[in-house]
Amino acid sequence: MDCIQQKPHAILVCFPLQGHLNPAVQLAIKLASKGFTITFINTQSIHHQITSNTQKDNDEDIFSDARKSGLDIHYTTVSDGLPLEFDRSLNHDQFMAAMFHVFSAHIDEAVQRLMESGPPVSCLIADSFLVQLGRVAKKHGLLYASFWTQPATVFTIYYHLDLLRLNGHFDCIDRREDAIDYIPGVQSIEPKDLTSYLQEEETNTICQQITFKAIHDAKKADFVLSNNVHELELQAMTDLRKKVPFYAIGPLLEFTKCRVAVATSLWSKSDCTQWLDTKPTGSVLYISFGSYAHVTKNELQEIADGVKLSQVTFVWVLRPDIVSSNDSDPLPKGFREETGDRGMIIPWCFQNQVLSHPAIGGFFTQCGWSSILESIWYAVPLMCFPLIADQPTNRKLVVDWKIGINLCDKSQITKLEVSEKINILMKSGNHELKNIIKELRRTMEHALSREGSSERNMDQFINDFHQAI
Ligand code: UDX
């Protein structure tokens, strides 16, 4: 009698922000292409935001095309505990509180439902920042994989939070301001290179609570899957691998390995490729501060004046909520007219398409991890302006790797600094940065090749997974 082995079925839950959704979708595709059945859980709010940007038939979801390509990916949605019309960007702390206190109960019910109705489930994979889901997995007798979307270095620093406390660099009255040189796997770093949550004066904020609980949960996970590349963060990775079942399987990027189209954009995209086609190679600066962070009106003013002063040609993604105020146009008066055809200002774009365009010569970025990985993939040097969360630590990596330059600290931004640094990025420093970033691209390509580290880590994960079920 033939023995038909059941495909492993994993439920994958993503954190409802663009920078987390994109790699989670790629993870789903990767696992499905390796023989997993995946049920992907999105929040109703994110689902609603995506579908209002796409003209999909009612019975289609973001993975319809993936299924047509033979991938076994199912899709469902749950509430994040807030009404659909609630403005999650303006009321950030309430949104985070719902993610902390309410969301896991909704996932718990969804897992119960899926276990009663679908093919047998063996694993719950959840974004590391979705706290309490390790507990949900254990309650249902499932393996728990924590999905890490930031650098391994950031994970390592959080892992050693107790050392930061013990040495007076966090959570004490007179914080030390000297270098931090005692974290295993992390070379000496300055306090300004810590994540924003470790630099805050306040303690016990909702973001700190989520982050610290995320690491606490991840330490106990059966597996930690990460959007990292082993060779890029060798020291951190070597240290982590001794402590946690950490599998670096990145970069999880669209169009790298499995060419399946999945619409994930949370805002409606403007196409600027025709405009870019008219510009010389490497002449255009791409400006975007990602999906999540805000800047003040004053910072935006200095940035805009600096961009104008630099005389550079630019594409600027100005997210509708970039300045947390109800201003209909946060740009300085006259900026659009004065820069004219030198600039294209759009609310959102298909970032990979823009970065891959030959006209793009530099990326002025908030240093989101996906943005950095994408920029390396398309060999576009960076100018770093970290705003929140892991971004200050990510900046440190970019500058250490010599694939980008630092603009300045947020509080010190001036138009002169912006203009000068843009000129270094686009002109005097561009050639050298570009040569090094091309090397890192090759490192990534190699990691994804058959014998490469990410591919081997993926195989190792699958092997260990089968041993564990
Ligand atoms: C945060 C964190 O800082 C980041 O490190 C973490 O991994 C995710 O959350 P965010 O701004 O969302 O920040 O991160 P970023 O890494 O920049 O991801 C944004 C994603 O949106 C990228 O995949 C990018 O391609 C996409 N994007 C951005 C677009 O598709 N269009 C745009 O116009 C801008």
Q: What ipTM did this prediction achieve? A: 0.98
pLDDT, position 55? 64
DSSP string across 302-315: HHHHHHHHHT-EEE
Distance CA 304, CA 224 (A): 41
pLDDT, position 118? 81
Say if ligand 1 is within 6 A of residue 310 CB: no
Which of 247, 244, 245 has its CA nearest to residue 184? 244
Cα 152 to averaged position of ligand 1 atoms, centre (Å): 17
Q: For atom 29 of ligand 1, which residue has the closest CA? A: 351
Say if ligand 1 is within 6 A of residue 391 CB: yes
CA distances from 91 to 72, 85, 169, 297, 450 (A): 36, 12, 30, 18, 45
pLDDT, position 3? 45
Taking the CA of residue 149 as reference, the ligand 1 atom at the shortest distance is 7
pLDDT, position 404? 98
Distance CA 108, CA 104 (A): 6
Cα 199 to averaged position of ligand 1 atoms, centre (Å): 22
Question: In the chain, which stretches have pLDDT less than 70?
Answer: 1-5, 55-59, 255-259, 325-326
Say if ligand 1 is within 6 A of residue 128 CB: no
445-450: long-range contacts, CB 8 A cutoff, minimum separation 24 = 446/231, 447/229, 447/230, 447/231, 447/250, 447/251, 448/251, 448/256, 448/257
Segment 376-435, tens digit of pLDDT: 999 999 999 999 999 999 999 999 999 999 999 888 999 999 999 999 999 999 999 999
Q: How buried is residue 235: exposed, middle or buried, by Cβ count under 10 Å (0-12/13-18/19+)? A: middle
Most informative mutation of 99, 351, 376, 395 for ligand 1 (most atoms within 8 A of CB): 351
pLDDT, position 60? 79
pLDDT, position 429? 92
Distance CA 55, CA 45 (A): 17
Say if ligand 1 is within 6 A of residue 365 CB: no
Beta strand 284-288 pairing with 313-317: parallel
pTM recorded for the entire structure = 0.96
Segment 277-324, tens digit of pLDDT: 999 999 999 999 999 899 999 999 999 999 999 999 999 999 988 997
Cα 397 to averaged position of ligand 1 atoms, centre (Å): 17
